[in-house]
Amino acid sequence: MEDTWKMVQKHLGYSDEEMQIFRANPRNEDVLSKTAFMLNKTIVAEVIESHGCDSGHKIGDKFYFDGRGVSLLAKLGPSRVCIFALHSVALAMPALAELMYAGVDPNTMRFKRFGCVDVGVRCGGWGHIVMEVKVEDRKVPDEKRK
139, burial (CB in 10 Å: exposed 0-12, middle 13-18, buried 19+): exposed
pLDDT tens for residues 26-63? Answer: 999 998 888 888 889 999 999 999 999 999 999 999 99
Neighbours of 124 (CB within 10 A): 8
DSSP state of 138: P
Residue 124 backbone class (left: φ over 0; alpha: ψ -120 to 50; beta: rest): left
Torsion of CA 82, 87, 90, 91, to 10 degrees: -140
pLDDT tens for residues 102-116? Answer: 999 999 999 999 999
Check residue 146 and give its pLDDT.
Answer: 43
Check residue 99 and give its pLDDT.
Answer: 93
Check residue 140 and give its pLDDT.
Answer: 62
Residues in CB range of 36: below 8 A, 6 or more apart? none
Check residue 143 and give its pLDDT.
Answer: 46
Could you give phi then psi for residue 62, rounded to 5 degrees?
Answer: -130, 140
